[in-house]
Amino acid sequence: MTHSDSQQVDSALPASSIETSLEKAPMLEMCGITKRFPGVLANDNVSFDVRAGEVHTLLGENGAGKSTLMKILYGLYQPDEGELRLHGKPLRLRSPLDAISHRIGMIHQHFMLVPTLTVAENVALGLPSQRGPLTDLKRVSRRVNELSDLYGLQVDPAAFVWQLAVGERQRVEIIKALYRDVQLLVLDEPTAVLTPQEVDDFFTILHEMKRDGRGLIFISHKLQEVMDLSDRVTVLRHGRVEATTTPAQTTRNDLAALMVGRQLDSATRGNRASLTSETPEVFSVNGLRVAGDRGVDALKSIDLQVHAGEILGIAGVSGNGQRELAEAVTGLRPILAGDVLVDGSAITGMTPKKIREAGLSFVPEERMRDGAIGDFSVADNMVLHNHTESQFSSAGFLDFAAIKTHCSKLVQDFNVKTPDLDTPTKNLSGGNIQKLIMARELASNPRVLIAAQPTRGVDIGAAEYIHQRLLEQRDSGTAIMVISEDLDEVMALADRIAVICEGEIMGVLDAGNATREQIGLMMAGVSDAANSQRA
């Protein structure tokens, strides 16, 4: 297939290539890429290539070097050693502009869209206009509509991006890439924000793009998706290529083992909590109504109950009220109506401190914003909430010895890997910061634990450990609510699963016999009742 190097953005799509892509020479090669950062070898002699019309997955834990490699490909970083080649010709990328001019596109994990602009404006941004200095949004809109029809990507070019749901925003990102007629597209964890059904639609589009002869680089943690979608898989670990293989030649477990460097006992799920009608209800939410940041109700009268020794999972697509739920019950967001009860007594409207004293602990979703202070030491962060209590201070003076003893024990108990207690917390890895926060929150053996996205951005090893601790805490009688956008996590941990969509609970399912399809439909807004009628 011949792509001219010209920047004819409005050109027709390349004729679909029927040749078998796998026999062809690579479209893009990254040869012996090495990238060093102070104290870190992010990429160590990495070689990676993509052929036209294939999906090549890049798999690895956080910090394995995937992002660095992709940033090099997108011109954001310069490699210290090694070379990029496009269609066999050496390539130097000094900025995203260079990458774009070689028709390399990237869909970032956090969408690169300007919310206050329309879809057409977002698509046109950064491109030369046919009308010189003036924008030509009519032409752009026409082309967007053509692409929508061609690929089945429904999107209104005149809509403002802030009005769009997450799934629609992703379609805009894809249209942006198609509009630029990318020959190579990097997709950084594109499915993290989609419901299982949306993922299916998304994969259909990717297949369509493959058929056009485009090369796709897919980054994901979800091994099943990787197995379903990829033509080839390259596993990175500690900045090095562990293996390049195909789904036919490997298994999910092998891939996981390659990522982590050891075999994982994936069936961590212990016995499910045995609930009887006598199990006391420790935490409940009745008719909770909460406003979102834009003033619209983020939660519309929801009811939830969590029993002692139970994990209630809250599943849902990002942005459907999960964050507001966590903030409301922990006292960080005003409650418009309804009640929150711990052990039968209302904590509604209390300050976060009073709520903690009532026995509720909180592992927040944004761990570096709401969970820990980056510049504070490990020890300071561990007593952040209770350093004024008599065990750690007297007459306003901190008892450093007591704090140190307490924290050393916690660091050991929770396997927090830190050089010492005085290390600034921001220097720890995401997984260790999360373990630190878990240690702090569980130290008081709370009645109720709210854990929001407990393993997001945490490496597999630490995630496994955190899951284990959550299950242990459940077994010791704590009522736990796990809010997670990772359906696998919810299904692995929860005893019951409540599905949230647009601020409403679509239904509560027993985790033992819930299926992904059932939950997926509820995540998309189909209520449980309607769901069972269809079945």
Partner 1 sequence: MTDVFTTTIVVATIASGIRLATPFLLAALGEAIGQRSGVLNLGVDGVMLLGAFAAYFVVLDTENVWLGVVAGITIGICMGVLYAVITVFLHAEQGVSGIGIYLFGLGMSDLLFQKLVGTPLPIDQFSEWSVPYLSDVPVIGVMLFQHSPMVYIAFLLVPVVAFILNRTTFGLNVRAVGESPESADSLGVSVRRVRFCTIIAGNALAGLAGAALAIELGIFQQNLTNAMGFIAIALVYFGAWRAPGVMAGALVFGMVGAIVLQAKTLGLIPRSASDIAAMAPAIITILALVVVANRFRQPAALTKPYFRGD
Closer to partner 1 by CB, 100 or 282: give it.
100
* Residue 25 interacting with partner 1 (CB under 8 A): no
Give the sign of the dihedral formed by CA 468, CA 476, CA 433, CA 488: positive
CB of 295 to partner 1, least distance (A): 11
**CB count in 10 Å sphere of residue 412:** 10
Q: Which of 42, 61, 77, 221 lies at the binding interface for partner 1 (CB under 8 A)?
A: 77
113 near partner 1 (CB under 8 A): yes
Return the residue matching tokens 């490909």. 73
Q: Does 94 bind partner 1 (CB under 8 A)?
A: no
Nearest C-alpha neighbor of 271 from the set 490, 451, 471: 471
Q: Record the tokens describing residue 47, joined without a space.
A: 């070689």
Asked if 414 touches partner 1 (CB under 8 A), the answer is no
- State which residue, 168 or 303, has the beta carbon closest to partner 1: 168
Minimum CB–partner distance for residue 111 and partner 1 (Å): 8
Under a CB-based contact definition with an 8 Å cutoff, are residues 479 and 309 in contact?
yes
- The least distance separating partner 1 from the CB of residue 43, rounded to whole angstroms, comes to 15
Closest approach of partner 1 to the CB of residue 302, in Å: 28
Kindly tell me which residue out of 41, 117, 350, 530 binds partner 1, with binding defined by CB under 8 A.
117
| Nearest distance, CB of residue 164 and partner 1, angstroms | 14
Least spacing, CB of residue 121 vs partner 1, in Å: 6
| Rounded Cα–Cα distance for residues 374 and 437 (Å) | 12
Residue 224 CB, nearest distance to partner 1 (Å)?
29
Stretch that binds partner 1, among 124-132, 189-197, 390-398, 522-530 (CB under 8 A): 124-132
Contact letters (x/-) for partner 1, 348-377, by CB under 8 A? ------------------------------
- Phi-psi domain of 44 (left: phi exceeds 0; alpha: psi -120 through 50; beta: other): beta
Of 17, 34, 45, 135, which lies in the binding site for partner 1, with binding defined by CB under 8 A? 135
- The answer to whether residue 464 forms part of the interface with partner 1 (CB under 8 A) is no
Helix (H, G, I), strand (E, B) or coil at 452: strand
Which own/partner contact pairs does 513-520 have at CB distance under 8 Å and 24+ positions apart?
516/196, 516/487, 516/491, 517/196, 519/196, 519/315, 519/487, 519/491, 520/195, 520/196, 520/197, 520/487
121 lies in the site for partner 1, by CB under 8 A:
yes
For 389-405, b/e burial (b = at least 16 CB within 10 A) is: eeebbeeeeeeeebbee
Nearer to partner 1, 77 or 202 (CB): 77
Q: Could you give the string, one character per residue 139-178, with x where binding to partner 1 holds by CB under 8 A and - elsewhere?
A: -------------------------------------x--
* Shortest Cβ 125–partner 1 spacing (Å): 5
Of 131 and 516, which CB lies nearer to partner 1 in the complex structure? Answer: 131
| Comparison of 117 and 337: residue with beta carbon closer to partner 1 | 117
Q: Is 71 in the site for partner 1 (CB under 8 A)?
A: yes
- Total number of residues that touch partner 1 (CB under 8 A): 30
* Dihedral sign for Cα atoms in the order 353, 367, 221, 40: negative
Q: Could you say whether residue 447 binds partner 1 (CB under 8 A)?
A: no
Residue 302 Cα distances to 92, 338, 474, angstroms: 54, 8, 23
| Residue 470 beta carbon to partner 1: minimum distance, rounded to whole angstroms | 30
With contacts defined by CB under 8 A, name the span among 119-127, 312-320, 478-486, 508-516 that binds partner 1.
119-127
Alpha-carbon distance of 407 to 317, in angstroms, equals: 36
Whole-Å CA distances, 327 to 240, 349, 369, 396, 475: 40, 12, 13, 30, 25
Tokens matching residue 48: 């990676």
Beta strands 184-188; 40-50: pairing state: unpaired
- Residue 116 lies near partner 1 (rule: CB under 8 A): yes
Residue 291 as a binder of partner 1 (CB under 8 A): the answer is no
Provide long-range contacts, Cβ within 8 A and 24+ apart, for 254-261: 255/59, 255/223, 255/226, 255/227, 256/223, 256/460, 258/59, 259/59, 259/60, 259/61, 259/64, 259/235, 259/460, 260/61, 260/459, 260/460, 260/461, 261/237
Single out the residue of 134, 248, 395, 529 in contact with partner 1 (rule: CB under 8 A): 134
Q: Encoding tokens for residue 207?
A: 């297949």
- By CB under 8 A, which span of 41-49, 103-111, 181-189, 394-402 interacts with partner 1? 103-111
Q: Which residues bind partner 1 (CB under 8 A)?
A: 71, 74, 76-77, 95-97, 100-101, 106, 108, 111-117, 121-122, 124-129, 133-135, 176
